[in-house]
Amino acid sequence: MVFISFYMHLSSSNCSCFKWIVIFMFLYMFALSQADPRISEAGLFCGKSRPPPNASYIPLFVKEMRFLSQLVTSQNWGSSAMNNSAISIYSLAHCYRDLSHDDCLQCYAASRTLLPRCLPAVSGRIFLDGCFLRYDNYSFLGETVDPNWDKRNCNSSIDDNINQIQFTRSEFNKTVEDLIHNVTTSAALNDGYAVAGLKGVYGLADCWKTLSTNGCRECLTAAGREVMECLPSREGRAMNAGCYLRYSTKKFYSNHSDTTNQSSEMLKTGTVLAIVLSVSAFSMLSVFCGYAVYRRWNKRNQARKNLGLISCSYNKSNLNFKYETLEKATNYFDPSRKVGQGGAGAVYRGTLTNGKTVAVKRLFFSTRQWVDEFFNEVNLISGIQHKNLVKLLGCSIEGPESLLVYEFVPNKSLEQYLFDDKKVKILSWKERYDIIVGTAEGIAFLHGGSEYRIIHRDIKTSNVLLDENLNPKIADFGLARSFAVDRSHLSTGIAGTL
């Protein structure tokens, strides 16, 4: 983010300050080349329980993760608890203590991106090689072991690495056993953290900050027994409720206590940087000055490009809504105006200035996955019209969050008529038949009745809305996929709802 801020500042800065920008960029890029946030996934474990219906679980989850981010930013770990009238979320993030602060932030960002794959389950945990992230519906912060969740991850056999480790299998097993004993004992006596190396094998033990000394010792003892089951693999990880233990024939950790080597490396780094900067300063300064002039001249056009293809598409189609307009139309997303919620976002009833009632879909996440689905939905349904498809009226991508605007369908979804315990109406056989036929006609139109051949991939009762005459309208195209006429609809990608 710091780099982006400097980059955006180029258009308004004088060329005299570019020398410092050049120096910063070299330092930043060099740091990135040396960094290792260890974001490889060691284990992702998701629970099976789901939150109560209409519990607003995902917004609370997002709020929890944002607060946890602040704690990790300030101290490299954090725990939090949030609740409303129906649900509670407890969470814990922990970077292994050999990571630098920058690497910790990168690792946490990666874990936060991957863990939502567990949603809508009310519990999940992910172990990366550099950090740990967990959420659950109960307070778990003092847990040391959990027989139902504790796992191990063993890589390939030592035989696959025989050229690197020059001893027999029994010798290797004994070395790993001694290493595990040393590193777990040291960690229990050293605030829950230790690293060690022995005869070409390296180990790391780390307990969460929420554990007591006795709890840490208990967890590492169990982890030691667990990871020994990996032998004769050349690498093993024990992933417990309260700690993490790993051994490997590669030195995977960063040993910050080696000050002599650090000083030597810093001296070498400084020398290299001085030479590179002195040779490159003039040419880079010229490039940046020229670019700043060009960027100032091209600023308006570049801003339009940054909105991407979707911006051009909906501007030309008069689909563009101002964020402030939709915010006022929904009374600033008043909870009383909420008419539905799905995995991608909540839907609110809104009234435009001309008196027209619309449905405004407010997307939860701003990750690449959700942005892609947002763009996908706009691109696909803005160009198709059918009586059994919900009509897209517009969208907004210029505010703090992405919004979609649809025609308002007053009778909500088919799911509420079929499965809601408090049924407001029992559908007659004639009404059911008409809904079946109308839904089929909508699907048939998607498959071959328009310019594009579209496979919805998430047809379910909650995505079939009913208008004032109980006519069905298919909604939610976030997972749809467009195919050329000569392409098969068969897909190996997993999509839709369990």
Per-residue pLDDT tens for 461-474?
Answer: 988 999 999 999 99
H-assigned helices in 298-411: 299-306, 308-316, 323-329, 368-381
Q: Are 184 and 88 in contact (CB under 8 A)?
A: no
- Residue 32 clears pLDDT 80, i.e. is over it: no
Q: Which residues are marked as active site? A: 458
Q: What is the pTM of this model?
A: 0.49
Q: What letters, b where the CB count within 10 A reaches 16 and e where it falls short, cover 226-248?
A: bbbebbebbbbbbbbbbbbbbbb
CA distance 133 to 135: 7
Beta bridge partners of 134: 92, 125
From CA 347, how far away is CA 362, in angstroms rounded? 6
Give residue 420's pLDDT. Answer: 80
In percent, how much of the chain has pLDDT > 90? 45
pLDDT digits (tens, 9 = 90+) for 217-238: 999 999 999 999 999 899 999 9
Residue 4 has a pLDDT of: 36
Domains in the chain with CATH codes = 2-35+257-305 (no CATH), 41-248 (3.30.430.20), 309-483 (1.10.510.10)
| Residue 304, pLDDT above cutoff 60 | no
Q: Is the dihedral of CA 404, 409, 412, 413 positive or negative?
A: negative
